[in-house]
Copies of this chain bind each other. A is one copy, B any other.
Amino acid sequence: MSDICGMKYDEYVKLVTDFHGTVAPGLIIGGYMVDMAYKKLPKGGLYDVVCESVKCLPDAVQLLTPCTIGNGWLKIEKIGRFAITFYDKYTGEGIRLYLDNEKLKDYPPVQEWFFRTKPKHDQDSEALLRSIKEAGSSIISVQKVLVEIKKDNKEKHTIASVCPVCGESYPFREGKDMCKVCSGEIKYYSKI
């Protein structure tokens, strides 16, 4: 097992614990994925990132790269696959790294965790982390991909309008005369 983006394994574990709260197995594997991406990508490019799962992986990206959810360089596509794509923000060319089922056979604890074949409380988390550390980047595969760059970034051209119902600012778009909460499109809370 090797370093993770120039950090010793234990240093990365500390970083993960401080930010994420726990040493999530997915976040350690995510660390090896980001490390591998840095080694594979041409130096000096400007890369954006897509995570194909909202679980764990985004935090590895946020901890190890300049890309965050709030600065827009990291996006999430809710596909549920354990994969991260890094791509040149101008050309769309990039690489997609994914946890490769075929490569998990030599690491039964990782396989059990990944396929949830054992209930979480029956898993031996220390053995799992040992197995992840031993596997390092050997369980990750890489594909070359071309990401679709949206030329007309609609977000940038929206007008900040005031919703006539709640009185708050929202991004006005043709045919959207009120914000998504007041129109009923999104409902996640009620006032008390």
Which residue of B79, B85, B116, B158 contacts A180 across the interface (Cβ within 8 Å)?
B79
Residues of B within 8 A of A72 (CB): 54-55
A54, A79, A96, A147, most chain B CB atoms within 10 A: A79
Tell me which residues from 140 to 192 in chain A have a Cβ below 8 Å from any Cβ of chain B.
Answer: 143-148, 158-160, 162-163, 166-171, 179-181, 186-192
On whether the beta carbons of A171 and B80 are closer than 8 Å, the reply is: yes
Within A1-42, which residues are at the interface with B (CB < 8 Å)?
19-22, 24, 27
Q: Which residue of B lies closest to A68 (CB)?
A: B59
Q: Is the CB of B146 within 8 A of A68?
A: no
Separation of A78 and B191 alpha carbons in the complex (Å): 19
Given contacts A77-B188, A146-B190, A160-B114, are A169 and B101 in contact (CB under 8 A)?
A: yes
Cβ–Cβ contact A144 & B58, under 8 A: no
Contact A93 B169 (CB under 8 A): no
A138 contacts the other chain (CB 8 A): no
CB distance from A86 to the nearest CB of B (A): 11
CB-contacts of A25-81 with B (<8 A)? 27, 50, 52, 54-60, 62, 66, 68-72, 76-81
Chain B residue with Cβ nearest A27: B70
A81 interface neighbour in B56, B168, B192, Cβ under 8 Å: B168
Tell me, in angstroms, the Cα distance from A99 to B10 when the chains sit together.
Answer: 41
* A61 vs B98: C-alpha distance when bound (angstroms): 28
Q: Given the interface contacts A144-B192, A189-B96, does A170 sit within 8 Å of B70 by beta carbon?
A: no
Asked if A83 is an interface residue, CB under 8 A from chain B, the answer is yes
Tell me, in angstroms, the Cα distance from A72 to B94 when the chains sit together.
27
Partner-B contacts on A (CB < 8 A):
19-22, 24, 27, 50, 52, 54-60, 62, 66, 68-72, 76-83, 85, 87, 92-94, 96, 98-99, 101-102, 114-116, 143-148, 158-160, 162-163, 166-171, 179-181, 186-192
